[in-house]
Structure 1
Amino acid sequence: MTQKKDKNGLTEKEFLKDYKAGDYERPSVTADILVLGTSADLRTLKILLVKRDEHPYLEQWALPGGFVRKDETAYQAAERKLSQETGLEGVYLDQIYTFTNPARDPRTWVMTIAYLALVSDTSDDVLHGVTCAGDYDSDGGVQDAAWFDLVIDAESISFINAERNVEIRYSIENKRFKNGRIYYENWVSKPASKEELAFDHIEIIIESILKLKAEFEHTDLSFNMIGEKFTLPDLQALYELVLGKKLYKTNFRAMIAPKVEATGAKMKSVCSNKMSAEYRYIG
């Protein structure tokens, strides 16, 4: 087979042999993960934050994450850092967006690939190994990992952990942006408390929440945020919590009917505290 040559008369093998990667500036790449669940009573969204144990942003709360190694994909890096920093494994992970602002990290040019992780258990029991997380690799560990209440209203987004006496708050404004011929809406945030999240993690959280809201009603994502067995009132409460709106019972049940089946048993609804038919996800 004849090998193709470029304008300099080089085959691909010859070209690669002389290629100098150092001739081009290259960013470092990280993977950051927003872990989202709900309170046990399905009344509050919960987000997992870690407290950094090194510069930059020493002792500030941040999303779990770290640098992508040269022998792994960004997805694998997200799985690894999530396990190391929080103890969470085998959870749903979905790539959200790539953040490329050259000034987003004070150390050097660092791009991050953001992931959304959805979980059904936000108890402290699912977190383990946090204090020794820094022993795993040179990427550092964390001082602490904790679930925060994620409270969103028309004007603000807050992260609250009463046990640690921490409340991080941002004001948000809904703005319109043009892309080609169309306009789209997005939230623009400003710090509204003394304490802030590290890096540009508030932007990662905003993009993740908006994408989740846009997709939640038309996908099966909800079943990653509820137990293997559930009641329909509780499932509807989860949808309403994420979407931020009330749903008509009849329409909701028609929508999810093809995705679930009754087990024949009953269980107590966490919303109503009454016994109700038990269901499971069938896909």
Structure 2
Amino acid sequence: MALTTAKGLRDQNGLTEEEFLAQYDPGDYERPSVTVDMLLIGPKKDLSGLRILLIKRGGHPYLNCWALPGGFVHPDETCYEAAKRELSEEAGVKDVFLEQVYTFSKPDRDPRTRVMSVAYIALTSKTVPVRGGDDALEAAWFDFEYTDSQIHIFNEDIGVDIVYELSTKRFKNGHIKYPNLTPTLKSKTRLAFDHVEIIIEAMKKIRKEIEYTDLPFSMAPVKFTLPDLQVIYELLLGHKLYKANFRIMVADRIEALGEKTKSIVGRRMSEVYMLK
């Protein structure tokens, strides 16, 4: 039981916090390294599908393998700051929406040492040209198709095709069993590390939160039409929405600007809106 003195609190060994920290040895505990990995996702220019950003690794492990952009967190930065820096250094991408997904901590997820990764969703309205930098040989946008049964990532220009089959398994948490998707590689080319699992968790989060958060608006321009915004929602959800239901869903989040423009998907003049 801690004892209170005029000089402050003392622990069961009679030490103040200052005294405890002075004799504390961080080497008493093994310290894992920490990285960040980002699923950067955006729509095609014509809104016909989604794309994700991958980088080609320039060093071991997984040399020449395609991976999500990411890297080690520096001692003087937060995970969020590291995610922003890595996107800029590895692909030249800046000023995108970032939201934390999950911490991946399997002991053997990285063959170098014990590495925990904090994963982020990164959303953009434009799949702008990218460049490889830092320890990335290349950076490229890949077409991205995600269903409950398959992940398909491909870029025909560079001849890369990655396919994972997804199966549902149930895992126990306390006395509750819950379903989760388990990937099985079905192509010759694979993603590095456990990055396919990061994609699964990121997409689960997006689809779970899409109806009550503003996540999809980060994939739309500042000014947008409702037909175009609806398609962005549908691309993320993986299914069509009824027009009336969609407009009810977003009605209290948007405001009309009193102007019209051609929508990308309908090619017709439509009201212009923005997020409140």
Q: CA deviation at 1:174?
A: 1.7
1:106 maps to: 111
Q: Is residue 187 of structure 1 aligned with residue 192 of structure 2?
A: no
Counterpart in 2 of 1:93?
A: 98
Spell out the pairing of 1:249-264 with structure 2 (5 A cutoff).
Answer: 249-264=243-258
**Displacement of 1:226:** 0.7
Aligned to 2:149: 155
Q: TM-score, normalised by structure 2?
A: 0.95
Structure 2 letter corresponding to 1:47: I
* Stretches of 4+ aligned residues off by more than 6 angstroms: none
Distance in 2 separating the partners of 1:272 and 1:174: 37
Give, in whole Å, the separation in 2 of the partners of 1:95 and 1:67.
Answer: 16
Query: What residue number does 1:178 align with?
Result: 172
* Corresponding position of 2:3: none
The code of the aligned residue for 2:122 comes to: A
CA RMSD of aligned residues (A): 1.2
Unmatched runs of 5 consecutive residues or more in structure 2: 1-5
Q: What is the match of residue 138 of structure 1? A: none
Amino acid at match of 1:168: I
Counterpart AA for 2:58: D
Residue identity in the other structure for 2:220: I
User: What SS is found at the alignment partner of 2:95?
Assistant: coil
**Contact kept in structure 1, 2:147 and 2:238, CA below 8 Å:** no
| Amino acid aligned to 2:224 | F
Q: Unmatched 5+ residue regions in structure 1?
A: 135-140
Match of 1:200 among 174, 194, 197: 194
Tell me the CA shift for residue 269 of structure 1: 1.3
- Report the alpha carbon displacement of residue 92 of structure 1 after superposing the two structures with TM: 0.6
Residue 247 of structure 1 pairs with residue 241 of structure 2:
yes
Q: Pick one of 50, 56, 61 that aligns with 1:56.
A: 61
Counterpart of 2:127? 122
Shift in Å, 1:175: 2.0
For residues 123 and 73 of structure 1, the distance between their equivalents in structure 2, rounded to whole angstroms, comes to: 26
Distance 2:100 2:252 in 1: 27
- The residue aligned with 2:33 is 28
Partners of 2:181 and 2:46 in 1: CA distance: 28
Deviation at 1:24, TM superposition (A): 0.7
Indicate the residue corresponding to 2:160 in structure 1: 166
Q: CA deviation at 1:248?
A: 1.6
> Which letter does structure 1 place at the counterpart of 2:267?
N
Amino acid at match of 1:161: N
> Which residue does the alignment assign to 2:261?
267
- 1:7 positional shift: 2.0
1:35 partner amino acid: L
For residue 86 of structure 2, what is the aligned residue in structure 1? 81
CA offset at residue 89 of structure 1? 1.2
The offset of 1:218, in angstroms, is 1.3
Within 2, Cα distance between the matches of 1:90 and 1:161? 25
Q: Distance in 1 between matches of 2:196 and 2:38?
A: 12
In 2: Cα distance, 1:246 partner to 1:156 partner: 18
Cα distance, 1:212 vs. partner?
A: 0.5
Task: Quote the residue 2:13 is aligned against.
Answer: 8
The yes-or-no answer on 1:279 pairing with 2:273 is yes
Deviations 1:191-223 (A, max 9, x none): 111110001100111100111010011111111
Per the TM alignment, residue 166 of structure 1 is displaced from its structure 2 partner at its CA by 0.5
Deviations 1:151-186 (A, max 9, x none): 123421111111111001111102222222333222
Aligned residues: 271
- Deviation, 1:45, is 1.4
Once residues 120 and 89 of structure 1 are traced to their aligned partners in structure 2, the CA distance between those partners, rounded to angstroms, is: 12
Q: Please state whether the residue corresponding to 1:184 is helix, strand or coil.
A: strand
Following TM superposition, by how much is the alpha carbon of 1:276 offset from its aligned partner in structure 2, in angstroms? 1.4
Q: Percent identity?
A: 53
CA distance in 2: counterparts of 1:115 and 1:193, whole angstroms: 26
Residue 46 of structure 2 is matched in structure 1 by 41
